[in-house]
Structure 1
Amino acid sequence: MRLVGAELTKIFTTALWWVFALILIPLWALSILFNWGTANVTSQVDASQVPADQADVIAATGQPINIASNLYTSGQFFGVLLILLLSAILVTNEFFHLTATTTFLVTPHRERVILAKLAAAVLLSLGFWLVTTLLNLAVAPFLLRQLGLPVQLGAGGVWRAVGLNALAFALWAIVGVGAGVLIRSQIGATLTLSIGYLVGPLGAQAVFFLLSQYVTKVFEKLTVLEPTTASQLMISGTELPGNPPRWVGALVLIGYALITGLIGTLIMRRRDVS
């Protein structure tokens, strides 16, 4: 616990965490307004006027529980990006400020240091999740009433989406720490993770689309292997037609977290930090 406390102190004694927190607020506002606008458009679409292969998806996304789940989990896309970067910086800061050697001299068991950083990153991610969730709980009911829909706070699907959203934040924090170990350069890690997170989904979807068109339709289902798509799947209120179950998205993201966390710990145990 002392190591975790030390890692949290490293975060909260710098301006970085509250700069990220301040950035989170306008990004959250943008997200919930976008989700509200999307719900407005979806509710006005006549499913009978669209292609048959899209009608079921449009009808499902237009269900009140899915609209509500989307609004109550607003801010995930940008929120986990900030957590991803902040978690990576928690590691790369040690190399940027040349404190890694001192840290590992004080605590020779390197895996304990990495575990402490993982725990600190997860706690920080849950703090970001809590802020966005409280904001959503305050604003989303008003937006749902504007759409003529019930607030859905008694629906189990909504609370499952909120809970899985917390899991997504925590898992992305673990991925960030692992990535920070793999890419020790602070600038390099920030740029790589930002570009990979924002551009990666588009590239993955394009590749899977081409494979599904020219190889086999099975590849349509494999887009969930892209981590951003997996975390978005987790927060749907119900199972969506043509998409894997929500638990598949959770398993994919858990897999990425385990792989990056284990690889990061093993590399840090062996890597020269002088």
Structure 2
Amino acid sequence: MTVAAVTRSEFTKLFSTSMWWILGLVLVLYVAATAGSLAFVFGAVSSGTLPNDGAPVPSEGLASVLYSLAASIGYVVPLILGTLMVTAEFRHKTLTATFLTTPRRGTVLWAKVVAGLLIGVAFGIVGALSSVAPSAGVLAVFGLETDLGAAATWALIGRLVLALTIWVIVGIGVGVLVRNQVAAVVGVLVFTQFLEPIARTAGAFVDGLDTVTNYLPGAASDALVGSSIFQVAGAGASGGLDWWAGGAVLLAYAAVLLVLGYVVSWRRDVS
């Protein structure tokens, strides 16, 4: 079978379950609620509506930080989606039938990557809308600049969609390498929600450590987008990677995971 035919099969398997729309709903609710809440707080402080005895919140660049939230905090959703696209087949034993129908396992893996790219673009657009729409609306209410007329803002949104798309491929690589669904999902959550944030926070205070933490996947994703709430919070280095370098590093993670998974796990017998 051709990659195109197997890709259609991958879409059939994906959309025959509720996994895709549940994760999509989680992405929308999580990102929109966070973006709207932070936009309200930052907007109220910046406009003087709320008193602020601490450090001032600059209104310049605030919109881009809020718009980037879909990648800064929401990337875990497409990452898990990509992981489940593979591990669900191991868990439910459907991969055996897939390999019997398409004995060329490389073709199956390529089909999953192609399907992941397409669904990743869709999730990227949904994620971008979930952060941009509530943020811009709240900023407009407080009379602050939304920057939606600037080309740089739309370039950032485009890179945001690209980052979320790549995260799906990274997730597919994780799923190929780690067959057990529970272990893969737990590992993803532990790394993205605990280990990397702690490391990036430490990098903001320990001299020289940021040269390492800049190359962590989440930091590379933020560099690709060009803005991040973690940088505002002091958990990102001011002299991080350029956007193209961040994209290259994130793509490298996806490629390494896919190759390792293919060599170590994908070619093994399936029970």
Range class of TM-score, shorter chain: 0.7 to 0.9
Shift of 1:7: 0.6
1:230 matched to 2:220? The reply is yes
2:210 is aligned, of 202, 216, 220, to 220
Q: Which residue of 2 aligns with 1:31?
A: 34
Shift of 1:37: 4.5
Q: Which residue of 2 aligns with 1:205?
A: 200
CA distance 1:42–1:113, change in 2 (3 Å): farther
Residue 64 of structure 2 aligns with an amino acid whose one-letter code is: S
1:253 matched to 2:250? The reply is yes
CA distance 1:182–1:147, change in 2 (3 Å): same
Distance 2:36 2:222 in 1: 17
Aligned partners of 1:157 and 1:237 also within 8 Å: no
Q: Which residue of 2 aligns with 1:55?
A: none
Q: Which residue of 2 aligns with 1:143?
A: 138
1:100 matched to 2:66? The reply is no
Unaligned regions of 5+ residues in structure 2, if any? 49-53
**DSSP-derived class of the 1:225 partner:** coil
1:131 is aligned, of 126, 130, 139, to 126
Q: CA RMSD in A?
A: 2.8
Distance 2:109 2:265 in 1: 8
Aligned partners of 2:70 and 2:130 also within 8 Å: no
State the number of aligned residues.
256
Shift of 1:254: 1.7
Shift of 1:269: 4.8
Residue 253 of structure 1 aligns with an amino acid whose one-letter code is: L
Aligned partners of 1:224 and 1:252 also within 8 Å: no
Q: Which residue of 1 aligns with 2:112?
A: 117
4+ residue runs over 4 A deviation: 237-241
CA distance 1:42–1:236, change in 2 (3 Å): farther
**DSSP-derived class of the 1:218 partner:** coil
**DSSP-derived class of the 2:239 partner:** coil
Q: Which residue of 2 aligns with 1:6?
A: 9
Residue 141 of structure 1 aligns with an amino acid whose one-letter code is: A
CA distance 1:191–1:269, change in 2 (3 Å): closer
Moved more, 195-204 or 67-76: 67-76
Moved more, 165-174 or 236-245: 236-245
CA distance 1:194–1:269, change in 2 (3 Å): closer
**DSSP-derived class of the 2:253 partner:** helix
Unaligned regions of 5+ residues in structure 1, if any? 51-57
Residues 135-164 of structure 1, C-alpha deviations (whole Å, 9 max, x = no match): 444333322223432221221221121111
- What TM-score does the superposition give when structure 2 sets the normalisation length? 0.83
Aligned partners of 1:42 and 1:62 also within 8 Å: no
**DSSP-derived class of the 2:93 partner:** coil
- Whichever structure has more helix as a proportion of its residues is 1
Shift of 1:121: 1.6
2:185 is aligned, of 169, 183, 190, to 190
2:238 is aligned, of 237, 242, 266, to 242
Residue 2 of structure 1 aligns with an amino acid whose one-letter code is: A
Shift of 1:36: 1.0
Shift of 1:34: 4.1
Distance 1:251 1:11 in 2: 28
Question: Could you tell me the percent identity over the aligned residues?
Answer: 30
Residues 101-153 of structure 1, C-alpha deviations (whole Å, 9 max, x = no match): 22111111111111111111221121112123234443333222234322212
CA distance 1:88–1:144, change in 2 (3 Å): same
